[in-house]
Structures are given as structure tokens and as C-alpha cells.
């Protein structure tokens, strides 16, 4: 049997490329204060809310929990309020990234550079916003970060959030590759479900917010990408392809 070669690596962003969630939580709380809300998302609450993919979706879910019995606000007015809060949150997060509050996770940059040098194609498949992606990668990699990743699928192009596989299915179409030719990198159960739903083998690097998730079905579960080599990726991929 001919082994299918590994041709591309597809990365999630939040929690996978970088430990962003603490900064996101702080940015949400900053936005709530600016909006005059008495909300505060502590770590246990935010950890539960991370089961919902997407910032605006988390705000909407929490609004329903806090004001579940309130029917006076029109759906359009609620959507406007959620958008305004999310815009404030995005601006706060971008300032934090620019101030150096968020760094790439251990081993990420080295693996990306090694993969590029060995001819693997790199892509991003995430449910976060384009602004968040640009802020992080511009700070971590530099102004030419877009040349590192051939394609980016994000919240603006894939409205169905993880665990729906839409973002990965669209990425495979753009790459013109089969799922068997790629590896996905994720940090959460929703991300793993999304990648698996598109037929992708997935390497999971949990963080403090996702360590309790069920990662059954992952190709590998690693504490980080520190020390992970392209040769190891090719070996794991080849073994799973047999």
C-alpha cells in the first residue's frame, strides 16, 4: 500500500498557536466595564463559556443566562448590543497583544519555520476574527506573517463555528488537498470535533482552559509543540495512513 504523503499543516489560533484565552477574558471584562455592565467573567465561568465557539456567541449565551426571562429587548437591539461589546473587546485585545501580553506557545515558531523550510504548506482554520489573527501574528511573527500561511479561513469566511467542520472543509477546498494529506492542530474538544468532522487527523495541545476536555480520537495529545519535529509529524502521519 502506498503511503499518502504529508503536504500541509492546518493550525487553529486561540489556545493552539498562542495562549490567548487569559487575554481574551481580560478584554471581555474590560468591554463589559466600558459598556456599563456589572458582568465579570472569572476563570471558572470563562472556562465553561469556552464550550461555545465565537466571542459574540459567548456574549449572547451569557446574556441569555443572566437575562433569560427578559423579553423587552428586541432581537435587533440585542444583536447591536452584542456587536458593540464585541467591538470594544476586540479593541482591548488588540492593545494587549501590541503591548506584548500574548506570546506564541512553546515550539510553535520553530515548527512553523521548519515546516516552511521542508516544503510543507501552512494554513490557518479558526473561528476567531481576522483582526485578532492579524494582531497576534503581526506581533509574534512580523508584518510579513501572511506570507507564512498560504490561506486563512476565519470567522468572516466560515460562519458555522466549531465543532461544525465548515472552516476545515473550506480550507481543504482552498488547498486542493484531501484530508489524508494534512494534519490539523487544535487545543479543544470543539476544535478536534471540527477537524475530525472534515476527516483530518489532529494533534492536540491542551491548555489550562481545555485540559479537562475529552480528546478521544486525536492522533496525538501533547503538552505543547516544544521539541516536536517535522520528521516526527511525518512519522505519525505515515503510521496513521497505513
Which residues are catalytically annotated?
A: 12, 14
Contact of 85 with 11, CB cutoff 8 Å: no
Contact of 128 with 13, CB cutoff 8 Å: yes
For the chain, the distance separating the N- and C-terminal CA atoms, rounded to the nearest angstrom, is 7
> Other C-beta atoms within 10 Å of 213: how many?
19
Rounded CA separation 111/122 (Å):
11
Q: Among residues 207, 240, 229, 238, which one has the least CA distance to residue 218? A: 240
Contact of 187 with 158, CB cutoff 8 Å: no
User: Which residues in 62-99 are b (16+ Cβ under 10 Å) and which e?
Assistant: bbeeeeeeeeeeeeeebeebbeebbebbbebbbebbee
Rounded CA separation 44/13 (Å):
22
Sheet holding 182-186, edge to edge: 151-153, 121-125, 8-11, 182-186, 201-204, 220-221
Amino acid at each position: 500500500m502506498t503511503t499518502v504523503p504529508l503536504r500541509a499543516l492546518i493550525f487553529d489560533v486561540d489556545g493552539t498557536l498562542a495562549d490567548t484565552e487569559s487575554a481574551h477574558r481580560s478584554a471581555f471584562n474590560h468591554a463589559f466595564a466600558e459598556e456599563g455592565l456589572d458582568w465579570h467573567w472569572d476563570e471558572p465561568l470563562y472556562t465553561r463559556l469556552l464550550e461555545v465557539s465565537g466571542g459574540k456567541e459567548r456574549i449572547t449565551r451569557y446574556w441569555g443566562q443572566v437575562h433569560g426571562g427578559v423579553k423587552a429587548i428586541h432581537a435587533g437591539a440585542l444583536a447591536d448590543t452584542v456587536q458593540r461589546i464585541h467591538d470594544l473587546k476586540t479593541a482591548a485585545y488588540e492593545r494587549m497583544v501590541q503591548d506584548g501580553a500574548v506570546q506564541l506557545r512553546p515550539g510553535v515558531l520553530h515548527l512553523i519555520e521548519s515546516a516552511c523550510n521542508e516544503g510543507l504548506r501552512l494554513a490557518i482554520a479558526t473561528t476567531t476574527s481576522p483582526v485578532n489573527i492579524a494582531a497576534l501574528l503581526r506581533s509574534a511573527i512580523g508584518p510579513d506573517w501572511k506570507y507564512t500561511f498560504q490561506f486563512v479561513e476565519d470567522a468572516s469566511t466560515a460562519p458555522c463555528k466549531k465543532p461544525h467542520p465548515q472552516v476545515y472543509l473550506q480550507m481543504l477546498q482552498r488547498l486542493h488537498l484531501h484530508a489524508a494529506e494534512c494534519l490539523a492542530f487544535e487545543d479543544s474538544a470543539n476544535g478536534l470535533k471540527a477537524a475530525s468532522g472534515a476527516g483530518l487527523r489532529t494533534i492536540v495541545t491542551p491548555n489550562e482552559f481545555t485540559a479537562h476536555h475529552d480528546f478521544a480520537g486525536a492522533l496525538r495529545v501533547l503538552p505543547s509543540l516544544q521539541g516536536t519535529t517535522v520528521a516526527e509529524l511525518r512519522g505519525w502521519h505515515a503510521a496513521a495512513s497505513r
